[in-house]
Amino acid sequence: MSLPMLVNSVPQISKATLLQQSRTVPCCFFRKQTRRASSASSSTGATVTNATMNAPRQEQMSPTQVFKRQWEIYQVILDGDYLEHKALYGALQQYLHRKAASRPLRLLDLGCGDSDYISRVIEECGGRALVASYTGVDLSAPAMEISKENIHRALKGTDQAEWHTADFLSFATSCQEEYDCILMSFAMHHLTSNEKAEILVQCHRLLQNSGGAFLMVDIMRQPDETLTDYHVRSQRDVDHNWVGLTPEARAPFTDHMLKYDFPETFDLLESISKAAGFKNVTILHAASKGISQCLALES
C-alpha cells in the first residue's frame, strides 16, 4: 500500500485545532508536549477524592492550578500503573542498554514533558554510560523545567543536554543533527495520519546515518479494531479497572480520549514506518490489556 493510501485511511483533524484544544491537558493522556506545568506535586498514591474534584471549575483556575489538579490525577494513574508504564519502560530500558553496549547514545526525546520515566531509565543504566547527550523537545516550557531537574539528576549535570520549546514535528523537520535513538512516549497517537507519516520520515532522516532506532511507547488499536471500538474498549477499562480514581476524576481522561486519541493498529503503523524508510519494526512489549505497546523502528 502506498504512503498516501495509508495515511488517508485514518481520521483527520486539524493540527491547529488539536494543539489549541489539548493545550490544557498534561502528560500521557494529558498530552505530554502541551503541559502547562509550573512544578510537580509529590505522589502520595492516594485515591483522588470527590473533595479534590470539588475544587473550583477549571475555567476559573490559573494555568498553575489547572496543572496541579490534573497532575494529582496523573500521579494516581502512574501509581496504579493503569497504562503499564513499568513494563513498557522496562522493555525500553533493556533495548537501550543493549543499544549502548558499544558506546553511549545521542538521545532525542520528542514531546519530552517532564522526562520522568526516561530519566529513571538513564539513571538506572549508569547515566552517561547510557546517554552521551540528551535533547528534549516540548511545547511547555514549565514542563521542561521539571525535565531539566530530572535529567540533571540522571546525568549528574546538564552540560551534554539541551531543550527546545517547540512543536516536535516542526523541530524534527528543521533539525540537522544526527541521533542514535529518538523517543516518543504517549505522543504519536495525538497526531493526524499525515503528521504521523511525516514525523516518521523526518525521524528516519535523523537516524539513517547512525543506523539508529525510533522508540515509541504508545497506545494501540487491535487488528481490525475501529477507532470507535478502541474508544469503547478503553472506556470500559477505565471504568472497571482504574479504581484509584473517582468517576469525577476519570471524566477528564475519557473526554480527552474521545477528542484527541487517534491510535493506529500495529499493521498500519508498520506499513507507514517502512514507507518512511525503516527496515524493521519490532514489538518490544505489548501491555497485557492490549492498550499500549513499546516499539522499536530500526533504520
pLDDT for 129-161, tens place per residue? 999 999 999 998 878 888 999 999 999 999 999
Please determine, for residue 11, whether its predicted confidence score (pLDDT) is greater than 50: no
Please determine, for residue 269, whether its predicted confidence score (pLDDT) is greater than 90: yes
pLDDT score at 64: 66
pLDDT score at 56: 52
Using an 8 Å Cβ cutoff, are 129 and 103 in contact? no
- Residue at grid coordinates 504512503: 3
pLDDT score at 61: 72
Q: How many folded domains does the chain comprise?
A: 1
* CB within 8 Å of 82: residues ≥ 6 apart: 237, 238, 241, 242, 244
Look up the CATH number of the domain holding residue 53.
Answer: 3.40.50.150
Residues 204, 214: Cα–Cα separation, whole Å? 8
Handedness of CA 185, 186, 187, 189 (dihedral sign): positive
**Predicted confidence (pLDDT) per residue in 210-251, tens digit:** 899 999 999 999 999 999 999 999 999 999 999 988 998 888
**Predicted confidence (pLDDT) per residue in 51-106, tens digit:** 344 445 555 677 667 766 776 777 788 889 998 999 999 999 999 999 999 999 99
Range of the domain at 90: 1-299
Mean pLDDT over the full length of the chain: 83
pLDDT score at 25: 39
* CB within 8 Å of 291: residues ≥ 6 apart: 83, 84, 219, 220, 233, 234, 237
